[in-house]
Amino acid sequence: MRDSVDRFLTALEAERGFSANTVSAYRNDLTQFVQFLQVEQGLASWPELADTHLTSYLLSLREREYASSTVARKTAAIKSFCGYMVDAGELRADPSEGVASPRVEKYVPKAMTQAQVDHLLAAPGAKDGPEGARDRAMLHALYSTGMRVSELVSLDVDDVDLDAGTACCTGKQARRRVVPLSSGAIMALGRYLSGARDNLARGADEPALFLNHRGRRVTRQGFWLILKDYAESIGSGDVTPHTLRHSFAAHAIGRGQDLGDVQRILGHVSIATTQVYTRIASSLSDSASIEDGQAGELELVGATEAGI
């Protein structure tokens, strides 16, 4: 049964152009599904699959108190896989046709005020050694470009041109784009590259821009932990890398930057996805005027995490 899943995942990546992250999520979801069918339901082959098995599986997820968004994602993976199996002739009928996807409430994106971002960017200054210089460069680069965390940690040294003030990152479906760096990011990156990175590299031949204490590329999980520590140090423990992406876009639009330019920098295919930030920018501005720049993080309805 797992062989069929592997063929499906290969098709997603090769024929439909799904990103590695999406394929990985599908792999985890379908592996869990197969384990349930084999262990809990005693299935030995896919032709035995019926809608009752799917219903039992989804009920088991609810009993384990999975979030509705997670159940919806797992349901989507199963439906996509069943459709593939029908097309491949391994299933006569699609047992997932009558299975409804759970209703998911809209994701509530969060943006930080400019004052909060400034405090966060300054936080690594209290950390001695090359890690402090690296962390400052990472935070500045992330906020000044609105990159996704996967794009940030995938940067190589050759992807950054400090003379031109740009960085070239790889987004969804391997689309490359050049993004401008702020003066603060250029300065922070310059300081990091002038000596701190060499100390972390320890002579290793590693192309990655941002290195951990072992001289290897900083991972997504590693950056999340770094960001979490700094966020907690300024009293904003629920900040995520995507919070900085939201904040960059909202602040850029709030300063009057062209919506099309923000769309290009973020790598959005549709400008409609970027337009949500006009509302976020307005809300941040209103809050700042009411509370004199001391507003907490704002919860703003309008877009899904996956879409922006």
Q: Of all residues in the chain, what percent carry a pLDDT higher than 70?
A: 90
Work out the pLDDT band at 296, boundaries 50, 70, 90.
very low
Is 236 or 116 the better-scoring residue by pLDDT? 116
The CA distance from 149 to 293, in Å, is: 27
Is 12 or 185 the better-scoring residue by pLDDT? 185
Work out the pLDDT band at 35, boundaries 50, 70, 90.
very high
According to DSSP, residue 235 is labeled T
- pLDDT value, residue 86: 93
According to DSSP, residue 211 is labeled B
Residue 235 scores a pLDDT above 60:
yes
| 81-88 average pLDDT score | 92
Of residues 137, 34, 33, 116, the one with CA closest to residue 291: 116
| 255-271 average pLDDT score | 92
- pLDDT value, residue 283: 76
pLDDT tens across 196-209, in order? 999 999 877 899 99
Q: Per the confidence metrics, is the pTM higher than 0.85?
A: no
Range(s) of the chain covered by CATH 1.10.150.130: 2-87
The CA distance from 291 to 27, in Å, is: 46
Residue 249's H or E segment, with its range, is helix 241-254
The two structure tokens encoding residue 177: 């784009």
The CA distance from 171 to 150, in Å, is: 8
Instruction: Tell me the catalytic residues.
Output: 148, 172, 242, 245, 268, 277
Topology given in CATH for the domain delimited by 110-299: hpI Integrase; Chain A (1.10.443)
Q: List CB contacts of 33: < 8 A, sequence separation 6 or more.
A: 57, 74, 77, 78
The CA distance from 34 to 93, in Å, is: 18
Q: Of all residues in the chain, what percent carry a pLDDT higher than 90?
A: 58
The CATH number of domain 2-87, selected from 3.40.50.1970, 3.90.78.10, 1.10.150.130, 1.20.140.10: 1.10.150.130
The CA distance from 1 to 15, in Å, is: 21
Please report, for residues 3, 31, 91, 92, 229, the alpha-carbon distance to residue 84 in angstroms, rounded to integers and kept in the order given. 13, 16, 9, 11, 43
Range(s) of the chain covered by CATH 1.10.443.10: 110-299
Work out the pLDDT band at 306, boundaries 50, 70, 90.
very low
Q: Do the beta carbons of residue 304 and residue 107 sit within 8 Å? A: yes
